[in-house]
Structure 1
Amino acid sequence: MAGIGIIVAGALFALVSTLGRLGKVNEEEAYYHFRRRLGRAILLGLELLVAADIVGTVMVRPTMENVLVLAVIVLIRTFLSVSLTVEVEGRWPWQVTRRTDE
């Protein structure tokens, strides 16, 4: 629930933050601002969802079937996280962060 809540709250925050910037910047800059904020919210939500899946699998019954399903879910979410990081930040997750002022 926390992962979904963070994604929803982050999307709303990104929308409100972008709407507040519309009069100050051009539409293209506002669009990229929205994408960065939304992407970061999705990344954080995905990380919490992966953690919840791991805890859920360990706490329920760690059968081989549950572990394999968990592995597939983690692989898919990891791929999504890497893709989002490249899209939002313009770098691979293991590269040094390039800070930009927002």
Structure 2
Amino acid sequence: MIDFIAPVAAWFAAIIETIGIATITLFALYALYNAATRMLKKEESESVYQELRQSLGRGILLGLELLIASDIIYTVAVELTFETIGVLAIVVLIRTFLSLTLEVEMSGKWPWQNNK
């Protein structure tokens, strides 16, 4: 049974990682397209810029969550050693820090602050 789980988990991790990369790429392309069309319509550049940053931030956050999920699946199910757990911990810390700073950048407040 264990011989079956590792290749399947590696396959699912690769699929989720691909979806994470595609998510970031598609959000970036959509945000750039949307910003370009709005600029051609002569909309206010400050609002276009803010929406571009919001869209890019949302895409990166969602993509990072998927990439973290794929790393966890791969490490736990395929290559569970102290070294890979340490690398996973560092990667998750870095990606969590990036997610947190992107959230603060997009919303202007810490995620645990009230929406008031």
The answer to whether TM tops 0.5 is yes
Tell me the TM-score normalised to structure 2 length: 0.78
Q: Work out the number of aligned pairs and report it.
A: 98
Moved over 6 A (4+): none
Q: How is 1:54-69 mapped onto 2 (pairs within 5 angstroms)? A: 54-69=72-87
- Please name the residue that 2:95 is paired with: 77
Which of structures 1 and 2 has the bigger CA Rg?
2
Question: Helix, strand or coil for the counterpart of 1:92?
Answer: coil
Secondary structure of 1:16's partner? helix
Question: Larger helix proportion, structure 1 or 2?
Answer: 2
Unpaired runs of at least 5, structure 2: 1-17
Pairwise CA distance, 1:47: 0.4
- Determine if the alignment matches structure 1 residue 29 to structure 2 residue 66: no
Cα RMSD of the aligned pairs, angstroms, is 1.4
**CA apart distance, 1:97:** 4.4
Q: Select the structure with the greater relative contact order (CA < 8 A; seq sep ≥ 6).
A: 2
| Cα offset, 1:7, TM superposition | 0.2
Work out the CA distance in 2 between the residues paired with 1:17 and 1:91: 26
Distance of 2:75 and 2:44 partners within structure 1: 47
Q: In 2, distance between residues paired with 1:8 and 1:43? A: 12
Do structure 1's residue 17 and structure 2's residue 34 form an aligned pair?
A: yes
Question: What's the TM-score, normalizing by structure 1?
Answer: 0.88
Separation (CA, whole Å) in 1 of partners of 2:65 and 2:113: 19
Question: What SS class does the counterpart of residue 17 from structure 1 fall into?
Answer: helix
Tell me by how many angstroms 1:52 deviates. Answer: 0.4
